[in-house]
Chains A and B, each alone.
Chain A
Amino acid sequence: MTAPVAEAVIEAQGLTRRFGSVTAVDALDLRVERGTIYGFLGPNGCGKTTTVRMLTGLLTPSAGTVSVLGHSLPRDAERLKREIGYMTQHFSLYTDLSVRENLSFVGSVYGLGGRRLRARLDELFALYNLADLAGRRAGAMSGGQRQRLALAAATIHAPKLLFLDEPTSAVDPESRRDFWERLFDLVDAGTTILVSTHYMDEAERCHRLAILSAGRICADGSPRALMDAMGANVVELDTPDPRRAKQALTALPQVLSAAQLGARLRVLVADSVADPVAWLAAQPLATPLASLERVRPSLEDVFVTSTRVGEARP
């Protein structure tokens, strides 16, 4: 892991966006340091995309100040576009054009031409394993291949800052691993990456993470720090009737959530309970609980607890 440099690439204070009477993003404070992968984790509709759009200069904030790569937004939005890359959630290149044609088009839109464009294309073909696919139409490629093409297109002009909107929602786990390897390569080369996701395993790879709920950041920090500071303990247990046990458990105020994992239940108990295993075993329930076991919290647990806190807020 690269040591974080104390240079901020994105700085936002009180970032707010309202659509009519709906506040999509509510007074967000954000600082993203150079050479890191910063993750936005949150459910659909939590304001991830709106935030990213404001940070890329596509949307004008209703309130607050943003500075991205030293450009103050929305005033310098056009100049910023040359320095950032953006990879959309859905494949947004032309399916009826080949890999080479797509990349040539994007390259020439960024002002690359002639020998410089050809050299850059060869570089990208080698970097993203696209040489054999250069003549293939994007529409005839697999999800993983398309994603490599999309990343190549988003980085064709060597942007200092890269935005990825749910980048791996359409690819298999192996392509996802491969994709993240390439993201870390980019970070090593000095690129800063901001990624929005609702996948826990993806979020866990980020250097820093902000958990978003209803337009607010409920928690932020490194994934490890977030798990440590969760404020709840996790217990897994066996029960013959997990559905009924789940209903009974979630009715208890100390239980933050209970999720069924096959035949087992994963229960989050607030850390006001000193010994959660003993406390759970002592609960007078209709269905018996067996083989209770305290387990290591996951990011999903962090997500559940922090968004619950968010809901509890007025």
Chain B
Amino acid sequence: MKSLGRIVAVFRKELMQIRRDRVTLGMIVMLPFVQLLLFGYAINTDVRNIPAAVVDQSGSALGRILTQIVSATQVVDFVERFDDPAAAERAIVTGRVRAAFIIPPDLAQRLVRSPAAGHGLATPRATDEQLSRPVAQWIVDGSDTTIAASIKALRAMPLNELFDEASNQATPTFEVVLFYNPEQRTAVNIVPGLVGIILTMTMIMFTSAAIVRENERGNMEMLINTPVRPIELMVGKIIPYIFIGLVQAAIILGLGHLIYGVPFADGLLALAVATLLFIGASLSLGLVLSTIAKNQLQAMQLTIFILLPSILLSGFMFPYEGMPRLAQHIAEALPATHFMRAIRAVVLRDATLAEIRPDTVWLGAFMLGGLVVASLRFRKRLG
């Protein structure tokens, strides 16, 4: 009973301090809001309008029409025009353009023989040097793989339009049906994931810094001489942040629904359970970090040490399945990976609590483990 009273005392004090701290208070609300706008609009793997140069050595009307057809795809935006390929290469080096489109002088001859023109000629044998030559060439800055992939997608572009003909609709080898996110909007996938990233950042940072601050400002020296126990201090200090985490999750999902039309499935219970467990796991990780860090700057550095892999390996930006085995093992250790999986399943695919059980169980276990480690280390430090 007395113990509960002390926890409440610490909780109320912490709440007062958060309320006093305008910047932190602003961060709690503005951080998810601004990040939502930034990531929602900015992260787009569907690249358009890549700045490119054109080197038309044919100088013919055909060359100009070909250029127009390519720019009509909107994949590239021809911003420069050069006479020789060397100049285009220099433009790539300086970074003014990411790719150059080089149309050879013998464009007309190549076109006539090209299967892309679809003139009913039999597909030439690949060994036939005369006939299997491409129509024109792209020089691409391949360092950014996403941009390179977008331009590579132009490789087999049909050119029927060049001859004012309707393209012949080929029957695809496979039929692909998209079950979720049929419009293929990146934001739909990003917004639920963003909840995981924002919570990772604020929950870990706030708790680790909040505990370290007591040490740094000398408050701990006073506190250890009072009857308050370490575990009471930790519990009292982290309770306010559970509410803050829930507010942030609500802001992101609510605004994500309003601005980007991210669907809201009915699984509110599953959503609440997954979010609370993730908040708990992040807070206990923050507590562990607070027992390692000696000052707030170190707490911040440790937070970023966790945050970066959480952004890059959790499946937030790149698919988990595409990562090498080692990276997958590291990702499995991060709470963000499990939360990312769970929240996307619940929000986007209508999964129930039972279906996300492996991830919620893991988050719960992580939280308990973190609490045990933190309180063991904490006691040691007070000597």
Asked if A111 is at the interface (CB within 8 A of a chain B CB), the reply is: yes
Could you list which residues of chain A lie within 8 angstroms of chain B, going by C-beta atoms?
56, 58-59, 78, 81-82, 84-86, 88, 90-97, 101, 105-106, 108-111, 113, 153
CB distance from B378 to the nearest CB of A (A): 15
Nearest B residue (CB) for A156: B226
A90 to B221, CA, bound (A): 9
B residues near A105, Cβ cutoff 8 Å: 9, 12-13
User: Nearest chain A CB to B3's CB is how many angstroms away?
Assistant: 10
Given A101-B13, A108-B9, the answer on whether A81 and B222 have CB atoms closer than 8 Å is: no
**1/0 contact trace for B218-232 toward A, CB 8 Å?**
111111111110000
Q: For the complex, is B322 an interface residue (Cβ under 8 Å from A)?
A: no
Interface of A is mostly: loop
Contacts A59-B383, A96-B17 known; A106 to B226 CB distance under 8 Å? Answer: yes
In chain B between 1 and 39, which residues have their CB closer than 8 angstroms to a CB of chain A? 2, 5-6, 8-10, 12-13, 16-17, 20-21
What residues of A have a CB within 8 angstroms of the CB of B17 in the complex? 94, 96-97
B217 interface residue, CB < 8 Å from A?
A: yes
How close is B22's CB to chain A, nearest CB, in angstroms? 11
User: Given the complex, which residues of A lie within 8 Å of B227, measured CB to CB?
Assistant: 78, 81-82, 109-111
- Chain B interfacial residues counted at CB < 8 A: 26
Specify the main secondary structure of chain B where it touches its partner. helix
Q: Please, which residue of chain B has its CB at the minimum distance from the CB of A93?
A: B222
Residue of A nearest to B222 (CB): A92
In whole Å, how far is B175's beta carbon from the nearest beta carbon of chain A? 63
- Contacting pair A97 B225 (CB below 8 A): no
Give the contacting residue for B13; candidates A59, A78, A86, A97; CB below 8 A.
Answer: A97
CB within 8 A of B5: which of A94, A96, A106, A108? A108
Instruction: Say yes or no: A90 contacts B219, CB within 8 Å.
Output: no
**Chain A residues, Cβ within 8 Å of B2:** 111
Please name all residues of chain A whose beta carbon is closer than 8 Å to the beta carbon of B225 when the two chains form the complex. Answer: 56, 58, 81, 84-86, 88
On chain B, the residues within 8 Å of A106 by CB distance are: 222, 226
A208 to B382, CA, bound (A): 31
Residues from chain B with Cβ under 8 Å of A110 in the complex: 226-227
Query: Are A92 and B5 in touch, CB under 8 angstroms?
Result: no
User: What is the bound-complex CA distance between A51 and B126, given in angstroms?
Assistant: 90
**Inter-chain pairs besides A86-B225, A92-B222, A108-B5, 12 sampled, C-beta below 8 Å:** A81-B227, A86-B222, A90-B221, A92-B217, A93-B219, A94-B17, A95-B217, A97-B17, A101-B16, A106-B226, A111-B5, A113-B5
